[in-house]
């Protein structure tokens, strides 16, 4: 059974039910609910990592409360960080089924004073079991540490703790029916890229001292929860992008891989990234550059708006492909500020990622070029069954997309409607570019008047 999200009377959504496939595409006008849906899916999936961190803190702090109340409170705070206050939606209800019988519900309390997160009985039972195991091991190891103090004994205790948390992580993954890494790439990325070379204080939720705000050039920028996480991923990744580190990193991953085409896939990904950026990214001595060849470069904050918007989409996807990690990825509006050819290339890159390790990707978009690019890759897969070699001359086989792995929805009037032609295995052409039909119809009417 697939994982499933149901939303009732929340934000612009009236009633929506989405079965999660490996590739989900959401289109719709502004304020139709695309981000509402994609953020909700990400939130429910991210509770897995929150629970793992919570259990670790319980062990470190020697607090083993079997009731789920504290974890539910932290989850509610995170939900509000993502969406803001939701009390203005008195009838809202979000339900997520993890595909294994586990279900989590979010709704406002009957008196409309609070937002409640409700974990089902099966989830609560597993939570109690995990807390009990942590407490038992803590008590056991605490006794051993009092009896012996040799370095060998301490190392043995540390090994037992590490083994326990590895087991806990595996069990939490099973509880949430997913072990993929999670990554959300929000819209508005060019702002962060532009500011990366300037002196700004970014409000990450912590208080600043007066010494930190010691210049009129400093500006305080408040960022939402998902943008904060995006910045953290960027900061952790930058150091890999000097040429020596990246080449060494790739060679190491290729040598470790058991897949014969790993190097081919990575090189394809690198070529797509450089083509999209019209150059190559370099991080050197705390400064970000785009190199164009022939000893020509530009600081990232002087690059084009398209380069700034897309640079950390493509670089993070490249790293995920190199690392061959399983991932659940959300990308909002990958087409922003990009020429149509680059939009096509970024879908090729995303398809390449999706085809590695059964990765899962959600996109929100306004672009007909994005949808048409997906259709080409779906069509290539369909034709490739009978004409493999000829199709590969047109589209690299690593980019072909199995139609059974993909669904696309248009969000309108508070509902979601699938726009997949099940017989053809393609996104319905009539939905790809309604705007063009309207524009052409207007032109034809004007032409008739002129005639």
Q: What is the CATH number of the domain that holds 258?
A: 3.40.50
- Could you tell me which residues come within 8 angstroms of residue 114 by beta carbon, excluding any fewer than 6 positions away? 108
Residues 174 and 236 in one domain: no
Residues 143 and 234 in one domain: no
Choose the weakest-confidence range: 59-73, 191-205, 416-430: 191-205
Confidence of residue 239 (pLDDT cuts 50, 70, 90): confident
Rounded-to-integer distance, Cα 8 and Cα 144, Å? 53
Confidence of residue 199 (pLDDT cuts 50, 70, 90): very low
pLDDT of residue 435: 67
Choose the weakest-confidence range: 88-102, 113-127, 208-222, 257-271: 208-222
Which residue's entry shows tokens 């010691």? 214
Q: What is the pLDDT of residues 277-296, one digit of tens each?
A: 999 999 988 888 999 988 89
User: Which of these three, 158, 179, 200, is where a domain ends?
Assistant: 179
Percentage, residues of the chain above pLDDT 70: 90
Question: Residue 102 — φ and ψ, nearest 5°?
Answer: -80, 135
Residue 96 falls inside a structural domain: yes
pLDDT of residue 258: 83
Residues 298 and 168 in one domain: no
Confidence of residue 147 (pLDDT cuts 50, 70, 90): low
Choose the weakest-confidence range: 3-17, 131-145, 259-273, 368-382: 131-145
Residue 248 has pLDDT above 50, yes or no: yes
Give me 59's structure tokens: 């062990």
Residue 425 falls inside a structural domain: no
Residue 218 has pLDDT above 50, yes or no: no
Residue 406 falls inside a structural domain: no
Range(s) of the domain holding residue 123: 4-179
Q: Tell me what the mean pLDDT of segment 11-16 comes to.
A: 96
User: Which of these three, 325, 342, 365, is where a domain ends?
Assistant: 365
Residue 7 has pLDDT above 50, yes or no: yes
Q: For the chain, what is the mean pLDDT?
A: 88
pLDDT of residue 62: 87
| Residue 50 CB neighbour total at 10 angstroms | 15
pLDDT of residue 451: 64
Contact 402, 349 (CB under 8 A): no
* 250 vs 50: which has the higher pLDDT: 50
Residues 164 and 239 in one domain: no
Give me 254's structure tokens: 């290729």
Residue 409 falls inside a structural domain: no
Q: Tell me what the mean pLDDT of segment 263-271 comes to.
A: 94
Choose the weakest-confidence range: 45-49, 108-112, 242-246: 242-246
Residues 125 and 263 in one domain: no
Residue 265 has pLDDT above 60, yes or no: yes
pLDDT of residue 207: 41
Residues 264 and 168 in one domain: no
Residues 332 and 261 in one domain: yes
Strand partners, 406: 23
Q: Tell me what the mean pLDDT of segment 315-333 comes to.
A: 94
Residues 156 and 43 in one domain: yes
Contact 321, 269 (CB under 8 A): yes
User: Which of these three, 365, 391, 421, is where a domain ends?
Assistant: 365
Rounded-to-integer distance, Cα 289 and Cα 291, Å? 6
pLDDT of residue 150: 61
Choose the weakest-confidence range: 83-97, 151-165, 193-207: 193-207
pLDDT of residue 208: 40
Rounded-to-integer distance, Cα 33 and Cα 265, Å? 35
3 state SS of 318: helix
What burial class does residue 117 get, using C-beta atoms within 10 Å of its C-beta: 0-12 exposed, 13-18 middle, 19+ buried? buried
Residue 213 has pLDDT above 50, yes or no: no
What burial class does residue 281 get, using C-beta atoms within 10 Å of its C-beta: 0-12 exposed, 13-18 middle, 19+ buried? buried
Q: Tell me what the mean pLDDT of segment 13-34 comes to.
A: 95
Q: Tell me what the mean pLDDT of segment 358-385 comes to.
A: 94
Residue 242 falls inside a structural domain: yes
Residues 232 and 172 in one domain: no
HSE-up of 233 (CA within 13 Å, CB side)? 21
Residue 386 falls inside a structural domain: no
Q: Tell me what the mean pLDDT of segment 6-29 comes to.
A: 96
Q: Of 313, 184, 318, which is closest to residue 249 (Cα–Cα)? A: 318
What burial class does residue 190 get, using C-beta atoms within 10 Å of its C-beta: 0-12 exposed, 13-18 middle, 19+ buried? buried
Residue 189 falls inside a structural domain: no
Q: Tell me what the mean pLDDT of segment 48-68 comes to.
A: 93
Predicted TM-score of the model (pTM) = 0.89
Contact 300, 288 (CB under 8 A): yes
pLDDT of residue 206: 46
Residues 236 and 356 in one domain: yes
Choose the weakest-confidence range: 192-196, 344-348, 367-371: 192-196
Residues 133 and 281 in one domain: no
What burial class does residue 202 get, using C-beta atoms within 10 Å of its C-beta: 0-12 exposed, 13-18 middle, 19+ buried? middle
Confidence of residue 211 (pLDDT cuts 50, 70, 90): very low
Contact 418, 406 (CB under 8 A): no
Specify the pairing of strand 220-222 against strand 280-284.
Answer: unpaired
What burial class does residue 340 get, using C-beta atoms within 10 Å of its C-beta: 0-12 exposed, 13-18 middle, 19+ buried? middle
Our count of domains for the chain comes to 2
Contact 22, 15 (CB under 8 A): no
Residues 136 and 285 in one domain: no
Residue 429 falls inside a structural domain: no
Q: Of 94, 85, 90, 77, which is closest to residue 33 (Cα–Cα)? A: 94
3-state secondary structure 296-315: EEEEHHHCCHHHHHHHHHHH
């Amino acid at each position: 059974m697939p994982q499933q999200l149901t939303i009732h009377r929340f934000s612009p959504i009236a009633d929506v039910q989405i079965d999660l496939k490996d590739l989900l595409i959401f289109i719709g006008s502004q304020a139709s609910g695309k981000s509402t849906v994609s953020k909700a899916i990400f939130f429910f999936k991210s509770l897995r990592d929150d629970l793992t961190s919570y259990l670790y803190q319980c062990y470190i702090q020697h607090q083993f409360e079997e009731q789920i109340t504290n974890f539910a409170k932290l989850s509610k705070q995170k939900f509000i960080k993502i969406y803001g206050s939701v009390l203005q939606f008195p009838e809202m209800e979000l339900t997520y089924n993890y595909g294994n019988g586990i279900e989590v519900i979010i709704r406002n309390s009957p008196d409309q004073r609070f937002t409640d997160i409700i974990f089902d009985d099966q989830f609560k039972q597993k939570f109690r079991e995990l807390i009990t195991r942590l407490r038992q091991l803590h008590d056991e190891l605490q006794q051993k540490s009092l009896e012996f103090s040799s370095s060998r004994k301490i190392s043995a205790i540390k090994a037992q703790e590490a083994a326990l948390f590895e087991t806990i992580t595996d069990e939490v993954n099973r509880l949430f029916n997913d072990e993929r890494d999670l990554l959300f790439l929000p819209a508005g990325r060019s702002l962060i890229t532009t500011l990366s070379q300037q002196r700004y204080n970014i409000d990450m939720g912590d208080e600043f001292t007066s010494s930190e705000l010691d210049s009129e050039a400093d500006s305080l920028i408040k960022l939402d929860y998902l943008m904060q996480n995006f910045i953290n991923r960027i900061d952790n990744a930058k150091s890999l992008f000097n040429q020596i580190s990246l080449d060494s990193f790739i060679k190491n991953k290729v040598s470790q891989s058991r897949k014969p085409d790993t190097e081919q896939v990575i090189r394809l990904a690198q070529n797509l990234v450089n083509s999209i950026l019209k150059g190559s990214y370099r991080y050197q001595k705390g400064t970000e550059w785009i190199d164009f060849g022939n000893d020509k470069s530009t600081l990232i904050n002087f690059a084009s708006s398209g380069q700034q918007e897309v640079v950390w989409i493509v670089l993070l996807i490249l790293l995920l492909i190199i690392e061959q990690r399983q991932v659940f990825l959300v990308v909002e509006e990958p087409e922003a500020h990009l020429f149509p050819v680059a939009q096509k290339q970024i879908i090729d890159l995303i398809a390449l990622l999706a085809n590695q390790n059964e990765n899962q990707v959600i996109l929100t978009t306004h672009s007909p070029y994005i949808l048409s690019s997906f259709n080409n890759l779906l069509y290539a897969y369909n034709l490739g069954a009978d004409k493999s070699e000829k199709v590969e001359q047109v589209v690299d086989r690593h980019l072909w997309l199995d139609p059974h792995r993909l669904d696309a929805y248009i969000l309108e009037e508070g509902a979601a409607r699938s726009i997949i032609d099940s017989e053809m295995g393609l996104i319905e052409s009539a939905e790809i570019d309604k705007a063009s039909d309207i524009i052409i119809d207007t032109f034809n009417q004007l032409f008739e008047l002129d005639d």
